[in-house]
């Protein structure tokens, strides 16, 4: 069914815009009028495109779709299917109520493909950044087992949990990041504009300046004269760094370094292990084969060091061995995690044990974040105080010396 983008106004006179499905433009106008919207402009999506063009069109829309919105759609879809609606009917109802235009188009495209005979999982593959392999494989398992509503409920819980964990980490790091940036800008402003004017007073003084003052003047002169070189060097370093970490060797070294950073390295490891356990538990509970589940988890943890350990565990499973042994041998997973996984394998309760690990480590992430916040605030304040003290002493010491000479 054709999709129309429209602009118009409501009966209250407020402007509005969105997309709507209808057989033709006239039918679309009538449909909008029934909902209290009077359209002033229509533009039909080009549904005659080839499949490849349609996929490109969809992929162009993906960057602005938030995982929170995907979680809401997934939960609504689970509820509608659980209430007895067919998949197409449920998707149709969801399309009608989605406010985000780009997500609305993606879901409409998926519904169209299902109407053309595609499975839900295959239709989701047209939007790989919104619905990654993890999502598609779980949906495929849900379709084959006849428990799609249950699988979608688990997916919604998983996505919401990951979003909360991500925002928790970002909320912790954003304050010290802002404080650090402010401190950097203040220092640059002082060294570039203020200090040169102040130190101009010392040029005519025939005396040896303290080493602090000479160092301050030297740095200030360099920054004032060659500030553009610092900007170019920073930009160049950024692009070189991005290129380096895209190489196989650079990525391994960078991600290994991240895990060894004091304080931050422990937090990163906790987040990765929590994600590993939560994702693997969700996949296994939804009926995804364990070897395929390990492949998906290796991608999701987004760390090549831990990914190598997961790959070895997958090979171990294929050879008929356990998951826990290669994870223990890797040295990147804490002993408690590998022991709990081993117990889960022996008891046949691996999924439940992985969920317990996830809960434990998510709680540890919260605790570590609180401790990190408590540590970073005084450290940043002390660093700023040290810089300011250095500048003040560098300016005041020559003044004190001149006063002593006068007296």
Per-residue model confidence (pLDDT) at position 235: 93
Which residue in 49, 37, 145, 24 sits closest to 96, CA to CA? 37
Q: What are the residues whose beta carbons fall under 8 Å from the beta carbon of 3, sequence distance 6 or more?
A: 19, 20, 21, 44, 45, 47, 105, 108
* Fold of the CATH domain 1-48: Ubiquitin-like (UB roll) (3.10.20)
Domains 1-48 and 52-131 alike in fold: no
Query: In 334-349, which ranges are continuous DSSP H helix?
Result: 335-347
Q: How far is CA 368 from CA 278, 335, 337, in A?
A: 18, 19, 18
Q: Which residues of the chain have pLDDT under 50?
A: 46-63
Per-residue model confidence (pLDDT) at position 57: 44
Q: Two tokens at 114?
A: 């299902």
The domain ranges of the chain are: 1-48, 52-131, 158-407
pTM for the predicted model, two decimal places: 0.67
Please tell me the distance from the alpha carbon of residue 306 to that of residue 15, in angstroms, as a whole number.
Answer: 51
For the CA atoms of 255, 256, 260, 261, the dihedral, rounded to the nearest 10 degrees, stands at: -30
- Reduced to 3 states (helix: H, G, I; strand: E, B; else coil), residue 46 is coil
Per-residue model confidence (pLDDT) at position 236: 93
Q: What are the residues whose beta carbons fall under 8 Å from the beta carbon of 349, sequence distance 6 or more?
A: none
Residue in the structure block whose two tokens are 């519904």: 111
Residue in the structure block whose two tokens are 């304080």: 263
Torsion 354-356-357-359 (CA) sign: positive
Per-residue model confidence (pLDDT) at position 407: 53
Q: Which top CATH class is 52-131?
A: mainly alpha
Please tell me the distance from the alpha carbon of residue 162 to that of residue 336, in angstroms, as a whole number.
Answer: 22
């Amino acid at each position: 069914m054709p999709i129309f983008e429209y602009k118009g106004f409501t009966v209250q006179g407020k402007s509005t815009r969105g997309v709507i499905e209808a057989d033709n433009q006239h039918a679309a106008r009538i449909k909008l009028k029934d909902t209290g919207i009077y359209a002033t402009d229509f533009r039909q999506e080009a549904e005659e495109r080839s499949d490849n063009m349609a996929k490109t069109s969809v992929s162009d829309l993906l960057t602005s779709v938030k995982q929170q919105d995907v979680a809401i759609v997934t939960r609504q879809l689970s509820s509608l299917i659980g209430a007895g609606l067919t998949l197409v009917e449920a998707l149709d109802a969801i399309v009608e109520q989605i406010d985000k235009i780009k997500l609305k188009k993606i879901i409409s495209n998926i519904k169209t493909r299902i109407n053309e005979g595609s499975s839900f999982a295959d239709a989701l593959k047209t939007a790989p950044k919104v619905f990654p392999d993890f999502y598609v494989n779980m949906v495929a398992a849900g379709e084959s087992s006849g428990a799609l509503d249950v699988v979608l409920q688990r997916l919604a819980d998983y996505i919401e949990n990951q979003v909360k964990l991500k925002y928790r980490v970002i909320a912790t790091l954003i304050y010290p990041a802002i404080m650090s940036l402010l401190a950097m800008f203040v220092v640059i402003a002082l060294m570039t504009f203020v200090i040169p004017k102040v130190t101009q007073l010392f040029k005519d003084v025939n005396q040896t300046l303290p080493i602090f003052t000479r160092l301050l003047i030297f740095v200030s002169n360099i920054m004032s004269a060659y500030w553009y070189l610092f900007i170019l060097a920073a930009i160049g370093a950024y692009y070189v760094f991005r290129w380096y970490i895209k190489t196989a060797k650079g990525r391994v070294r960078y991600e290994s370094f991240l895990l060894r950073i004091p304080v931050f390295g422990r937090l990163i490891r906790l987040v990765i292990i929590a994600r590993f356990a939560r994702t693997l538990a969700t996949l296994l509970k939804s009926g995804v084969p364990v070897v395929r589940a390990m492949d998906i988890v290796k991608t999701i943890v987004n760390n090549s060091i831990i990914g190598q350990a997961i790959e070895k565990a997958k090979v171990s499973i294929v050879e008929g061995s356990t998951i826990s042994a290669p994870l223990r041998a890797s040295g990147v997973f804490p002993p408690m995690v590998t022991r709990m996984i081993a117990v889960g394998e022996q008891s046949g309760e691996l999924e439940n044990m992985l969920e317990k690990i996830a809960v434990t480590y998510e709680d540890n992430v919260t605790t570590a974040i609180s401790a990190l916040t408590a540590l970073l605030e005084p450290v940043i304040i002390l660093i700023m105080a040290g810089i300011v003290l250095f500048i003040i002493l560098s300016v005041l010491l020559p003044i004190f010396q001149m006063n002593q000479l006068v007296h």
